[in-house]
Chain A
Protein backbone atom coordinates (compact mmCIF):
# COMPACT_ATOMS: atom_id res chain seq x y z
CA UNK A 1 0.00 0.00 0.00
CA UNK A 2 1.33 3.48 -0.88
CA UNK A 3 1.99 5.88 1.97
CA UNK A 4 -1.20 7.52 3.21
CA UNK A 5 -1.55 10.94 4.77
CA UNK A 6 -4.02 9.81 7.43
CA UNK A 7 -4.53 13.34 8.73
CA UNK A 8 -5.87 14.62 5.39
CA UNK A 9 -7.79 11.62 4.17
CA UNK A 10 -11.51 12.09 3.45
CA UNK A 11 -14.02 9.63 4.90
CA UNK A 12 -14.88 8.25 1.46
CA UNK A 13 -11.20 7.70 0.64
CA UNK A 14 -10.63 6.26 4.10
CA UNK A 15 -13.48 3.78 3.55
CA UNK A 16 -11.99 2.78 0.18
CA UNK A 17 -8.57 2.24 1.71
CA UNK A 18 -9.79 0.23 4.68
CA UNK A 19 -12.28 -1.82 2.65
CA UNK A 20 -9.53 -2.55 0.11
CA UNK A 21 -7.12 -3.59 2.85
CA UNK A 22 -9.72 -5.87 4.42
CA UNK A 23 -10.43 -7.48 1.04
CA UNK A 24 -6.71 -7.96 0.39
CA UNK A 25 -6.59 -9.93 3.64
CA UNK A 26 -9.63 -12.05 2.69
CA UNK A 27 -11.82 -10.41 5.30
CA UNK A 28 -15.50 -10.12 4.45
CA UNK A 29 -16.87 -6.84 5.76
CA UNK A 30 -19.91 -4.73 4.94
CA UNK A 31 -19.91 -1.04 5.77
CA UNK A 32 -23.01 0.03 7.73
CA UNK A 33 -24.07 2.98 9.87
CA UNK A 34 -23.25 6.67 9.60
CA UNK A 35 -20.37 6.26 7.12
CA UNK A 36 -22.89 5.04 4.51
CA UNK A 37 -24.84 8.26 5.12
CA UNK A 38 -21.66 10.32 4.61
CA UNK A 39 -20.87 8.53 1.37
CA UNK A 40 -24.40 8.68 -0.04
CA UNK A 41 -25.00 12.29 1.00
CA UNK A 42 -21.62 13.40 -0.39
CA UNK A 43 -20.54 14.39 3.10
CA UNK A 44 -23.53 16.56 4.01
CA UNK A 45 -23.37 14.43 7.13
CA UNK A 46 -19.85 13.72 8.38
CA UNK A 47 -19.36 10.46 10.25
CA UNK A 48 -16.32 10.00 12.46
CA UNK A 49 -15.97 6.27 12.05
CA UNK A 50 -16.41 3.28 9.81
CA UNK A 51 -18.70 0.56 11.17
CA UNK A 52 -18.17 -2.80 9.52
CA UNK A 53 -20.06 -6.00 10.14
CA UNK A 54 -17.76 -8.94 9.57
CA UNK A 55 -18.01 -12.64 10.38
CA UNK A 56 -14.21 -12.86 10.60
CA UNK A 57 -12.37 -13.16 13.89
CA UNK A 58 -11.05 -10.22 15.87
CA UNK A 59 -7.55 -11.72 15.61
CA UNK A 60 -7.68 -11.85 11.81
CA UNK A 61 -9.01 -8.30 11.59
CA UNK A 62 -6.44 -7.02 14.12
CA UNK A 63 -3.61 -8.56 12.14
CA UNK A 64 -4.78 -6.96 8.89
CA UNK A 65 -5.31 -3.50 10.37
CA UNK A 66 -2.06 -3.57 12.29
CA UNK A 67 -0.22 -3.63 8.96
CA UNK A 68 -1.53 -0.11 8.25
CA UNK A 69 -1.05 1.22 11.76
CA UNK A 70 -4.49 0.68 13.31
CA UNK A 71 -4.54 -1.03 16.67
CA UNK A 72 -7.36 -2.35 18.85
CA UNK A 73 -8.47 -0.29 21.83
CA UNK A 74 -9.88 -1.98 24.94
CA UNK A 75 -12.39 -4.80 24.88
CA UNK A 76 -14.43 -3.43 22.01
CA UNK A 77 -13.66 -4.30 18.38
CA UNK A 78 -12.54 -0.71 17.93
CA UNK A 79 -9.39 0.32 16.01
CA UNK A 80 -7.54 3.62 15.98
CA UNK A 81 -4.42 5.19 14.52
CA UNK A 82 -3.18 8.25 16.39
CA UNK A 83 -2.53 10.10 13.11
CA UNK A 84 -6.02 9.52 11.74
CA UNK A 85 -9.13 11.47 12.80
CA UNK A 86 -11.38 8.55 11.92
CA UNK A 87 -11.63 5.23 13.69
CA UNK A 88 -12.90 1.80 12.70
CA UNK A 89 -15.37 -0.34 14.58
CA UNK A 90 -16.67 -3.86 14.08
CA UNK A 91 -20.02 -4.14 15.87
CA UNK A 92 -21.42 -7.63 16.36
CA UNK A 93 -23.35 -9.16 13.45
CA UNK A 94 -25.43 -10.26 11.75
CA UNK A 95 -26.40 -7.36 9.51
CA UNK A 96 -29.95 -6.61 10.50
CA UNK A 97 -32.28 -3.74 9.85
CA UNK A 98 -35.08 -4.21 12.31
CA UNK A 99 -36.38 -7.68 11.57
CA UNK A 100 -34.88 -7.83 8.10
CA UNK A 101 -31.59 -9.41 7.14
CA UNK A 102 -30.35 -7.69 3.95
CA UNK A 103 -28.85 -10.03 1.37
CA UNK A 104 -27.90 -7.53 -1.36
CA UNK A 105 -25.30 -4.83 -0.94
CA UNK A 106 -23.90 -2.02 -3.00
CA UNK A 107 -20.34 -1.91 -4.35
CA UNK A 108 -18.57 1.44 -4.68
CA UNK A 109 -14.94 1.01 -5.71
CA UNK A 110 -13.54 -1.36 -3.05
CA UNK A 111 -16.38 -0.65 -0.57
CA UNK A 112 -19.19 -3.12 0.03
CA UNK A 113 -21.95 -1.21 1.80
CA UNK A 114 -25.67 -1.10 2.52
CA UNK A 115 -27.79 -0.06 -0.46
CA UNK A 116 -29.23 3.47 -0.25
CA UNK A 117 -32.67 2.00 0.56
CA UNK A 118 -31.26 -0.15 3.38
CA UNK A 119 -29.20 2.80 4.61
CA UNK A 120 -32.42 4.83 4.95
CA UNK A 121 -34.11 1.93 6.78
CA UNK A 122 -31.08 1.61 9.08
CA UNK A 123 -31.28 5.29 10.06
CA UNK A 124 -35.07 5.12 10.40
CA UNK A 125 -34.69 2.11 12.72
CA UNK A 126 -32.76 4.34 15.16
CA UNK A 127 -35.46 7.01 14.83
CA UNK A 128 -38.23 4.46 15.37
CA UNK A 129 -36.64 2.81 18.42
CA UNK A 130 -34.95 5.75 20.13
CA UNK A 131 -36.79 8.73 18.70
CA UNK A 132 -33.40 9.96 17.50
CA UNK A 133 -34.02 13.05 15.37
CA UNK A 134 -30.42 13.07 14.07
CA UNK A 135 -31.05 9.67 12.52
CA UNK A 136 -34.25 10.96 10.93
CA UNK A 137 -32.27 13.84 9.39
CA UNK A 138 -29.69 11.39 8.09
CA UNK A 139 -32.40 9.20 6.55
CA UNK A 140 -33.76 12.26 4.75
CA UNK A 141 -30.30 13.28 3.50
CA UNK A 142 -29.85 9.89 1.85
CA UNK A 143 -33.41 9.79 0.50
CA UNK A 144 -32.87 13.21 -1.12
CA UNK A 145 -29.51 12.46 -2.68
CA UNK A 146 -29.99 8.86 -3.79
CA UNK A 147 -32.64 6.85 -5.58
CA UNK A 148 -34.42 4.87 -2.85
CA UNK A 149 -37.37 2.50 -2.90
CA UNK A 150 -39.97 4.31 -0.80
CA UNK A 151 -42.53 1.53 -1.26
CA UNK A 152 -40.08 -0.96 0.27
CA UNK A 153 -39.31 1.45 3.12
CA UNK A 154 -43.03 1.89 3.77
CA UNK A 155 -43.64 -1.88 3.82
CA UNK A 156 -40.67 -2.41 6.14
CA UNK A 157 -41.91 0.37 8.45
CA UNK A 158 -45.30 -1.32 8.67
CA UNK A 159 -43.61 -4.60 9.58
CA UNK A 160 -41.75 -2.71 12.30
CA UNK A 161 -45.08 -1.32 13.58
CA UNK A 162 -43.95 2.22 12.86
CA UNK A 163 -46.29 3.48 10.19
CA UNK A 164 -46.89 6.76 12.04
CA UNK A 165 -43.20 7.62 12.22
CA UNK A 166 -42.82 6.64 8.57
CA UNK A 167 -45.58 9.13 7.75
CA UNK A 168 -43.61 11.82 9.57
CA UNK A 169 -40.50 10.91 7.57
CA UNK A 170 -42.43 11.20 4.28
CA UNK A 171 -44.09 14.45 5.36
CA UNK A 172 -40.73 16.06 6.20
CA UNK A 173 -39.07 14.61 3.11
CA UNK A 174 -41.66 16.21 0.82
CA UNK A 175 -41.86 19.43 2.82
CA UNK A 176 -38.13 20.11 2.78
CA UNK A 177 -37.60 19.18 -0.90
Chain B
Protein backbone atom coordinates (compact mmCIF):
# COMPACT_ATOMS: atom_id res chain seq x y z
CA UNK B 1 0.00 0.00 0.00
CA UNK B 2 2.75 2.45 0.96
CA UNK B 3 5.38 0.37 -0.78
CA UNK B 4 5.76 2.88 -3.61
CA UNK B 5 6.51 5.66 -1.14
CA UNK B 6 8.80 3.68 1.15
CA UNK B 7 10.47 1.75 -1.65
CA UNK B 8 9.94 -1.60 0.03
CA UNK B 9 7.10 -3.70 1.37
CA UNK B 10 9.39 -4.69 4.25
CA UNK B 11 9.82 -1.08 5.34
CA UNK B 12 6.04 -0.63 5.19
CA UNK B 13 5.58 -3.69 7.38
CA UNK B 14 8.25 -2.72 9.91
CA UNK B 15 6.67 0.69 10.35
CA UNK B 16 3.14 -0.72 10.63
CA UNK B 17 4.39 -3.26 13.17
CA UNK B 18 5.98 -0.53 15.31
CA UNK B 19 2.90 1.67 14.96
CA UNK B 20 0.61 -1.08 16.22
CA UNK B 21 2.78 -2.88 18.76
CA UNK B 22 4.94 0.12 19.78
CA UNK B 23 8.10 -1.99 20.12
CA UNK B 24 9.53 -5.00 18.32
CA UNK B 25 12.59 -7.21 18.15
CA UNK B 26 14.19 -8.72 15.07
CA UNK B 27 13.03 -12.34 15.38
CA UNK B 28 9.52 -11.32 16.40
CA UNK B 29 9.03 -9.05 13.39
CA UNK B 30 10.68 -11.54 11.01
CA UNK B 31 8.53 -14.41 12.24
CA UNK B 32 5.25 -12.53 11.92
CA UNK B 33 5.83 -11.56 8.31
CA UNK B 34 8.07 -14.45 7.26
CA UNK B 35 10.91 -12.13 6.29
CA UNK B 36 14.53 -13.41 6.13
CA UNK B 37 16.50 -12.02 9.09
CA UNK B 38 19.28 -10.48 7.00
CA UNK B 39 16.80 -8.59 4.80
CA UNK B 40 14.96 -7.32 7.84
CA UNK B 41 18.16 -6.22 9.59
CA UNK B 42 19.26 -4.27 6.50
CA UNK B 43 15.98 -2.36 6.46
CA UNK B 44 16.02 -1.78 10.21
CA UNK B 45 19.55 -0.36 9.88
CA UNK B 46 18.42 1.89 7.04
CA UNK B 47 15.48 3.22 9.06
CA UNK B 48 17.67 3.71 12.13
CA UNK B 49 20.33 5.55 10.11
CA UNK B 50 17.56 7.82 8.86
CA UNK B 51 16.41 8.61 12.39
CA UNK B 52 12.94 7.16 11.76
CA UNK B 53 13.28 4.38 14.30
CA UNK B 54 15.47 3.94 17.38
CA UNK B 55 16.71 0.89 19.21
CA UNK B 56 18.01 -0.02 22.64
CA UNK B 57 19.55 -3.21 24.01
CA UNK B 58 17.42 -5.32 26.39
CA UNK B 59 19.34 -8.33 27.65
CA UNK B 60 20.52 -10.20 24.58
CA UNK B 61 18.10 -8.63 22.15
CA UNK B 62 17.60 -5.21 20.61
CA UNK B 63 14.25 -3.53 20.92
CA UNK B 64 13.09 -1.20 18.14
CA UNK B 65 10.47 1.52 18.21
CA UNK B 66 9.43 4.53 16.14
CA UNK B 67 11.58 7.52 17.03
CA UNK B 68 9.36 9.96 18.94
CA UNK B 69 11.93 12.66 18.10
CA UNK B 70 11.76 12.12 14.34
CA UNK B 71 10.74 15.56 13.05
CA UNK B 72 7.82 14.21 11.01
CA UNK B 73 6.65 11.57 13.48
CA UNK B 74 3.09 12.91 13.78
CA UNK B 75 2.65 13.00 10.03
CA UNK B 76 4.24 9.57 9.60
CA UNK B 77 2.04 8.02 12.28
CA UNK B 78 -1.06 9.58 10.73
CA UNK B 79 -0.12 8.16 7.33
CA UNK B 80 0.60 4.71 8.76
CA UNK B 81 -2.63 4.70 10.76
CA UNK B 82 -4.60 5.58 7.64
CA UNK B 83 -2.85 2.80 5.70
CA UNK B 84 -3.51 0.31 8.48
CA UNK B 85 -7.20 1.25 8.59
CA UNK B 86 -7.38 0.60 4.85
CA UNK B 87 -6.00 -2.95 5.10
CA UNK B 88 -8.23 -5.88 4.25
CA UNK B 89 -9.86 -7.60 7.23
CA UNK B 90 -7.87 -10.81 6.81
CA UNK B 91 -4.59 -8.90 6.80
CA UNK B 92 -5.61 -6.96 9.91
CA UNK B 93 -6.45 -10.23 11.61
CA UNK B 94 -3.30 -12.00 10.50
CA UNK B 95 -0.77 -9.33 11.41
CA UNK B 96 -2.18 -6.69 13.71
CA UNK B 97 -4.34 -8.42 16.31
CA UNK B 98 -1.74 -10.27 18.33
CA UNK B 99 -2.45 -10.25 22.02
CA UNK B 100 -0.78 -7.23 23.63
CA UNK B 101 -2.40 -7.25 27.06
CA UNK B 102 -0.40 -8.87 29.91
CA UNK B 103 -0.45 -12.61 30.59
CA UNK B 104 0.63 -13.80 34.01
CA UNK B 105 3.63 -16.13 34.10
CA UNK B 106 2.56 -19.79 34.14
CA UNK B 107 -0.92 -19.08 32.77
CA UNK B 108 -1.75 -21.00 29.57
- Residues of A that sit less than 8 Å from B by CB: 75-77, 91-92, 94, 96, 98-99, 101, 125-126, 129-130
Contact = CB atoms under 8 A, between A and B. Distances in A.
Interface string B39-76: 00000010001110000000000000000110100100
A128 to B, nearest CB: 9
B69 A76 contact: no
Interface SS, B side: loop
B71 A129 contact: no
A104 B81 CA distance: 34
B68 A92 contact: no
Contacts of B68: 129-130
A75 B71 contact: no
Contacts of A129: 68-69
Nearest to A125: B69
A75 B45 contact: yes
Contacts of A94: 71
Contact of B71 (A77, A101, A126, A130): A101
